[in-house]
Structure 1
Amino acid sequence: MAVVLGIETSCDETGVGVVADGRVLGAALASSMDEHARFGGVVPEIAARAHLESLTPCLLSAMEQAQVKPGEIDAIAVTSGPGLATALQTGLAAAKALAFGWDKPLYGVHHLAGHVAADTLEHGPLPARSIALIVSGGHTSLLLLGDLARDPIVHLGDTVDDAAGEAFDKVARLLGLAYPGGPAVSRAALDGDRAAIAFPRAMLGQGYRFSFSGLKSAVARQVEREPDLSVPDVAASFQEAVVDVLTRKAVAACLEHGIDTLVIVGGVAANARLREVAAERCAAAGLALRVPPPALCTDNGLMIAAVGDLLVEAGHPAAALDLSADPSAPLTKAVCA
């Protein structure tokens, strides 16, 4: 049984996790979100400095919680892409130093594969074939999965413009809500009427690609025309449009490809309405739905350690110590090298 240390610094969360045989041993997480709030988005330089300040405390805390010493760590996994360049480089430099100093193998992990692997920490190994819907601030994709550590990852469809989480942030700004936009819109929507405004459902019936830029623009035009509109109604109607498209396409992809398991991961997977509608539609279609708990949906070190754990078990070769960060790494496999 390998003990794997994972480091995640792709954006504004500094995460360190320790995993062994698909089990969580220890974890620590620090966020610089509050430092970015006044800018309405993540500032790369601020994020990188925050990672520098938080990495050592997070490392010590995760290892103390896991009750492991350096000699008991078998491998180190780190996000090497995609993400903010300076943020990735900070975590990668730390992982390389630990791998060299402790004489441990190093694995460069794709951030989005980490989100998928996070679900295995809650629900166990993925089935032989499944479909994953990744919904986050920077990514919205439908993926056909086999063995995450061994098989290529097949894209059924991706967003052609704004990701779902990005649309939530932009709509929150239009409505004068707080940053980050996802939780703010979701909270406002609790008091709103989901059917108050018939916002467009973009690209339904056009395969598995996504588009949310037009929806964001429709919200902006509605607010301009009727500035006294109920914010909760706008938030609820917008959220319903996003959730409707995501779940319809995901369920349709499962049925078309003869797959009975849908996995929804990423930061937006913490959205309560998305989880509710996905559960209803999967049940109606006879599909198994897997969604990690909210704490495993957002960026964290455990998800990276989980990929490393799978790679070690699969006998995947370790990366060289000259491994580079790749801020725009395409998702074709779990490793990012």
Structure 2
Amino acid sequence: MQVLGIESSCDESGVALFDTERGLLAHALFSQIPIHQAYGGVVPELASRDHVRRLPGLIRQVLGEAGVQRPDAVAVTAGPGLIGALLVGATLGRTLAYGWGVPIIGVHHLEGHLLAPMLEPDPPPFPFIALLVSGGHTMLIRVDGIGRYTLLGESLDDAAGEAFDKTAKLLQLGYPGGPAISTRAEQGDPAAVSLPRPMLDRPGLDFSFSGLKTAVLHQVRQWTAPGTPQQVADLAASFQEAVVETLFVKCQRALRDSGLQRLVVAGGVGANRRLRERLKQLPAEVYYPRPEFCTDNGAMIALAGALRLQAGEHASPDFCVRARWPLEQLGVPA
């Protein structure tokens, strides 16, 4: 079965074709970062308009590279995300599915991230613990199978990705914040500035990063003038280390409490090199998607749709797109 995946939840237009027997046949991605950089963040209206411009060409490109005229099914991101951007992908997907006479399925964006490591040659077997650090989400989840997800902990305020973006803005490093902080941190001392490790002194697996962002703000305000390059690098490195240590300790707790020895790390922050270095210290097998599939992409949507259809999910064009869609509401295929 060949499934065309369409991702349009935020600021990346992604398309891919996944074959359940041969794997990923082709994929293409257009990032809108240059469009939104001038505004310091995503502008929803601009994101929706650019999806309209980019997705048809990306679909033609992917089908052409794969040598396929008509896939067996279409999978589109149904949420969570920017509602206008989601509607662009869903409308285009429904139109194609109707014209081709094939089924269409709406996919949960976060499920796509959770399953993205299964695109790799050595996919993780169930069950495993997943650290999902994508955009506005920082979550620890026990994954026992497709749709069998147990939320263990989540961010109570700012997610890690949001904290990276806001800290980068405070340090005038630009957007997106994750790569900007990581690059500048390479020239800094991670022990130069004492910053809090949020909620590590409490039991449980929830996260909180708003206080860490505020601590960075206080440091910036102590500078008598704009920070020197070294001050900025040291603060970036210290901030990154605080986030990484917090994520590391929470993953350690989740593995210990569950008795599992497999960890999947998915989402944009999962591409952070310092985080990957630190997680090597865990007494567990750690799985990642390749860097290009850490951020939003069509391949993870095609894969998630294919796995659900294989498991017996009833495909219907009547799915609703949702700006908010808690992962725990997503059931097993039926």
Q: TM-score of the superposition, structure 2-length normalised? A: 0.95
Q: Secondary structure at the match of 2:51?
A: helix
2-structure distance, mates of 1:314, 1:156: 25
Note if contact 2:97-2:104 (Cα within 8 Å) is conserved in structure 1: yes
The 1:300–1:109 alpha-carbon spacing in structure 2 relative to 1, beyond 3 Å, is same
Partner-residue secondary structure (3-state), 1:262: strand
Contact 1:108 1:336 in 2 (8 A): no
How many percent of aligned residue pairs carry the same amino acid?
Answer: 48
In structure 2, what is the equivalent of residue 61 of structure 1? Answer: 61
Partner of 1:218: 215
Pairing partner for 2:95 from 90, 94, 97? 97
Match of 2:286 in 1: 289
Distance 2:97 2:238 in 1: 49
Partner of 2:79: 81
* 1:123 positional shift: 4.2
Within 2, Cα distance between the matches of 1:139 and 1:336?
A: 24
Q: Determine the C-alpha separation between the residues in 2 that align with 1:154 and 1:226.
A: 44
Q: How does 1:1-337 map to 2 (within 5 A)?
A: 2-21=1-20, 23-70=23-70, 73-148=71-146, 151-204=147-200, 205-227=202-224, 228=227, 230-279=231-280, 281-282=281-282, 285=283, 287-319=284-316, 321-332=317-328, 333=330
Q: What is the identity, as a one-letter code, of the residue corresponding to 2:15?
A: V
Deviations 1:267-307 (A, max 9, x none): 1111111111112x22xx2x100011110101000000010
Secondary structure in structure 2 of the residue aligned to 1:259: coil
Distance 1:178 1:146, change over 3 A: same
Confirm or deny: 8 A CA contact 2:308 2:333 kept in the other structure: no
Provide closer, same or farther for how the CA distance between residues 98 and 336 of structure 1 changes in structure 2, counting only shifts above 3 A: farther
Distance 1:331 1:253 in 2: 18
Q: How big is each residue's C-alpha offset from its partner over 1:51-108, in whole Å with a ceiling of 9 and x where there is no partner?
A: 00001011011111222111xx111111000000100000000111111111111111
Q: Tell me how far 1:17 sits from its aligned partner.
A: 0.6
User: Which residue identity does 1:128 align to in structure 2?
Assistant: F
How far the C-alpha of 1:128 sits from its partner, in A, is: 2.2
Is the 1:115–1:303 contact (alpha carbons within 8 Å) kept by the matching residues of 2? yes
Long gaps (5+) in structure 2? none
Change beyond 3 A, Cα 1:334–1:20: farther
Q: Tell me if the contact between 1:19 and 1:306 (Cα under 8 Å) persists in the aligned partners.
A: yes
Paired with 2:333 and 2:177, the residues of 1 have a C-alpha distance of 29
- Count of residue pairs brought into register by the alignment: 327
The 8 Å contact of residues 7 and 14 in structure 2, kept in 1 or not, is answered as yes
How far is the alpha carbon of 1:126 from its aligned partner? 3.4
Deviation at residue 125 of structure 1 after TM alignment: 4.2
Are 1:137 and 1:163, in contact at CA under 8 Å, matched by a contact in 2? Answer: yes
Displacement of 1:322:
2.4
Task: Tell me, in whole angstroms, the C-alpha distance in 2 between the residues paired with 1:269 and 1:16.
Answer: 21
For 2:315 and 2:124, how far apart are their aligned partners in 1?
23
Offset at 1:331? Answer: 0.5
Give the whole-Å Cα distance in 2 for the aligned partners of 1:55 and 1:62. Answer: 10
Structure 1 Cα separation of the partners of residues 271 and 99 of structure 2: 37
Q: Distance in 2 between matches of 1:55 and 1:88?
A: 12
Deviation of 1:211 after TM superposition, in Å, equals 0.4
Paired amino acid for 1:3: Q
1:118-158: per-residue Cα shift (whole Å, max 9, x none)? 1100144432210100002211000010112xx43110011
In structure 1, what is the Cα distance between the partners aligned to 2:296 and 2:4? 15
- Structure 1 runs of 4+ aligned residues shifted over 3 Å read 123-126, 334-337
* Consecutive unaligned residues in structure 1, runs of 5 or more: none
Q: TM-score, normalised by structure 1?
A: 0.94
Q: Identify if the C-alpha distance between structure 1 residues 169 and 187 changes in structure 2 by more than 3 Å, giving closer, same or farther.
A: same
Query: Does the aligned pair in 2 maintain the 1:145–1:154 contact within 8 Å?
Result: yes
2:182/2:236 contact within 8 Å kept: yes
Query: Which amino acid counterpart does residue 128 of structure 2 have in structure 1?
Result: S
SS of the residue 1:119 aligns to: helix
What is the letter of the counterpart of residue 30 of structure 2?
A: A
